[in-house]
Chains A and B, each alone.
Chain A
Amino acid sequence: MIDRHREPPPTVEAPMPECWRIVGVSGDRSCPELETFIHCRNCPVLAEAARTFFDRAAPEGYLDEWRAILEEPAASIDSGTTSVLVFRLEREWFALPAQVLVEVTTVRPLHRIPHRAGGGLAGIVNIRGQLQLCASLHALLGLPGGPGSATATADAATSRMFVVERTGDRGLERWVLGADEVAGVHRLARTSVRAVPSTVSHAQARCSAALFDWQDRTVGLLDEARVFEGLLGMVTA
């Protein structure tokens, strides 16, 4: 609360010449200091003027206006939509929530690990100088192909790798996954998703959370928790 009995703060003395409007970037740019500071915002004269400006008392009604603003509850960021990364494995389209996505990159050379060639662990990939485990989402979902497989060359032009991570019970889990095509991140209304029909094969149903239609295609929205658990279980098996 502002103490009303206190003396008002000292008023600002003679207003400073607004040189930035006359010879500065908002004026004719003839100020010799511009050689040094390039822009008025780097100049100590402007910084001093800003300091003087803020030494004033608050204008009438300003604080009450702010009190009214702050009494409003914070705007909810949940607008009923969710962002998903849409990608293709073989002939089927899938999606993962964009929260787990770190980056999408071109296909990097895959270093196979001796004696671990089969199964879900495709190998090790260099991503920005760090070696990351690359797992086969194809194998997890019971599809042929996958990163490093012979059939992957047919889609070489559209193939991508993408990095997903989450912080779960076991700490940070980070995987590099291969897709035969990545269609980007798309916004999706929560009301447009529908349940997975019971006819979907077992391996995919285990990881799928829902289905939605996207550009005349039916896309399976994967449950990120089950995908992360599945990848870990597949690789450590």
Chain B
Amino acid sequence: MQLLTFTVAGQAYAVESRTVVEVLPLVPARPIPHTPAYVRGIFSYRGGLVPLVDLGIRLGGSPPEPRLSTRVIVVECAPSGAGHPRRLGLVAENVIAIRSSGDAEAESPAWQLPDAPFLGRLIRLRDGTIQLLDASRLLPADLATGLFPDSQPVPVPAPTTQP
């Protein structure tokens, strides 16, 4: 398994590279009112609109430094259960390397933290430990439903029959 690694608040994390669509520079996004601070907004992405999640705030607390290596990782995350695939932009620092999990010296089982269901298993490599992130669980269910309106089919009201 190939992992796209990055750092958030000084710690190393990774997403599975097969979920990654593209890595972009830190493009500006349009803020959305009444969303949590970690939702930077929506940006225009190749004919569609993609929500941008700031992993710095989501995981650590402070937004990342605006350097060239701070980038947007566009991931394709299938929602749990049936539904349209969704694209999500993740802002993270040091998006410059791909590692192979085949080099892992040890792995912890997947974590089940109630407040952070997106935190996956820890992988210990020779030069540090990285933690996998599950991008499809980064947004709480109600927020995801709101930001991806097409993931819920809009019910068409049945025509009322006249007696």
Contact = CB atoms under 8 A, between A and B. Distances in A.
A57 interface: yes
Contact of B68 (A54, A64, A73): A54
**Secondary structure of the B side of the interface?**
loop
A66 B47 contact: no
Interface string A16-57: 000000000000000000000000000000000011011111
A50 B66 CA distance: 17
B68 A70 contact: no
B148 interface: no
A9 B68 CA distance: 10
B118 to A, nearest CB: 23
A58 B67 CA distance: 6
B47 A9 contact: no
B97 to A, nearest CB: 9
B27 interface: yes
Contact of A55 (B29, B63, B67): B67
Contacts of A56: 67-68
Interface string B31-46: 1000000001101111
Interface in A1-25: 1-3, 6, 9
Given A54-B96, A66-B25, A70-B46, A1 B67 contact: no
B66 A9 contact: yes
Contacts of A53: 68
B67 A70 contact: no
* Interface magnitude class on chain B: 20 to 34
Given A1-B28, A54-B96, A63-B26, A71 B44 contact: yes
B17 interface: no
A51 B24 CA distance: 17
Contacts of B63: 3
Given A1-B31, A51-B96, A63 B25 contact: yes
B150 interface: no
Contacts of B25: 58, 62-63, 66
24 contacts: A1-B29, A1-B40, A2-B26, A3-B66, A6-B66, A53-B68, A54-B68, A54-B69, A54-B96, A55-B68, A57-B66, A58-B25, A58-B26, A58-B67, A62-B25, A63-B25, A67-B28, A70-B24, A70-B44, A72-B46, A72-B47, A73-B46, A73-B47, A74-B46
